[in-house]
Amino acid sequence: MTAYIIRRLIFGAVLIFLSSVVSFTILKMSPGTSVMADFDPRMSKEYRQQQERLLGLDRHPVRQYLDWLGISGLFGDDRKGLLQGNLGVSFQYRQPVSTLIKSRLPATLALNITAIIVTWLVAIPLGIYAAVHQHKWADKLLSLISFAGMSLPGFFLALVLLWLFASRWHVLPPGGLRDPMGHESLSTWGRLLDYAHHLILPVTVLALGALAELQRITRGNMLETLRMQYVVTARAKGLDERKVIYKHALRNAINPLITILGFEFAALFGGAALMEIVINYPGMGVLLLEALRSKDQPVVMSLFLIASVMLVLGNLLSELLLAMVDPRVSYA
């Protein structure tokens, strides 16, 4: 197992490096400039050239990538980069990228982790119930809800809920993470309730979309497992139905869900980007959109790097969990 993990980490490091090269290449090929000259016609040519020299954009693209990577010492340059633990300084905000990420990271993690917990706590029991009661009215109702949830785009659902609960009924805030007026004057418990109040709408949007798909997958896996011979034999021996379902059938039906969990772990930092933009949630998705629009190279590269690392770690985590749950799987 240790040798397998080491091999996967080495392969993951190569994959992350290639991903960063592709991301940098696409970013440099995209139209526009990184000094906002296309958006501010008052910027003179001399000032633009000065800013390009200051940001290192007057150098060859390969040299710029090496600067970001942190191996400019090969050219006698003392610029610090990724290998020295420096993500660079944002072109747009003129702040360290690490500071920007730290300011948005708690909001994104709170949103995605809460949505994942709510989704799994609701979807798996519903999928099991639908499989056990196949073709009954509850199964048909859950199937209808699942198909509706999977067919509705997340941004459309966000707009509908935003219009209903924030604009029409005024029971939920229209966006943000906290009340901009009275949050600081609240007690600790009041601040937590304020955060929770602002999380209801975005968590609902994320959970509804993911819940529909996860519930259908759980139902399909359970139906397939319940038809297997060992389950039929367990029932023929007179075992309690609960034990047959939750101890024998669910244990094998849950294996594909572990792979999905790995991908959801990978999406912790950016899986809700579109929804954050629609609801104006101050997370990493909005930061990525702003960075792409302004070609903020250090921010874009750092966020893509985090996404690549999380994808590699998520896949590795799902494989290790699968080996722990299923004794038939061995990576030794």
Pair 159, 153: CB distance under 8 Å: no
Q: Is residue 190 located within the same domain as residue 243? A: yes
Q: Is residue 154 located within the same domain as residue 71? A: no
Q: Is residue 115 located within the same domain as residue 155? A: yes
Structure tokens at 64: 């710029």
Residue-range definition of the domain harbouring residue 141: 101-325
Q: Is residue 84 located within the same domain as residue 105? A: no
Place of tokens 């990576």: 331
> With bands split at pLDDT 50, 70 and 90, how would you rate the model's confidence at 40?
low
Domain termination residue (choose one: 90, 109, 135): 90
Three-class DSSP category at 89: strand
Q: Is residue 55 located within the same domain as residue 186? A: no
Q: Please give the tally of structural domains in the chain.
A: 2
Domain termination residue (choose one: 90, 124, 159): 90
Instruction: Tell me the pLDDT tens digit for each residue of 41-87.
Output: 666 777 777 877 877 788 888 888 988 888 876 666 667 888 888 89
Q: Which domain CATH number covers 275?
A: 1.10.3720.10
Q: Is residue 43 located within the same domain as residue 108? A: no
Q: Is residue 224 located within the same domain as residue 107? A: yes
Domain termination residue (choose one: 58, 90, 122): 90
Place of tokens 């509908």: 160
Q: Is residue 242 located within the same domain as residue 177? A: yes
- How far is residue 101 CA from its own chain's centroid? 14
The answer to whether residue 10 scores a pLDDT higher than 90 is yes
Q: Is residue 85 located within the same domain as residue 225? A: no
Give domain status of residue 168, yes or no. Answer: yes
Instruction: Tell me the pLDDT tens digit for each residue of 211-226.
Output: 888 999 999 999 999 8
Q: Is residue 155 located within the same domain as residue 245? A: yes
Cα separation, 20 vs 16, whole angstroms: 6
Instruction: Tell me the pLDDT tens digit for each residue of 155-183.
Output: 888 889 989 998 889 898 888 888 877 77
Q: Is residue 74 located within the same domain as residue 157? A: no
Give domain status of residue 61, yes or no. Answer: yes
Q: Residue ranges of the alpha helices (H) in the chain?
A: 2-29, 45-55, 61-69, 97-132, 137-151, 154-161, 188-226, 229-236, 241-243, 250-253, 255-266, 273-279, 284-293, 297-325
pTM of the complete model beyond 0.75: yes
Q: Is residue 270 located within the same domain as residue 140? A: yes
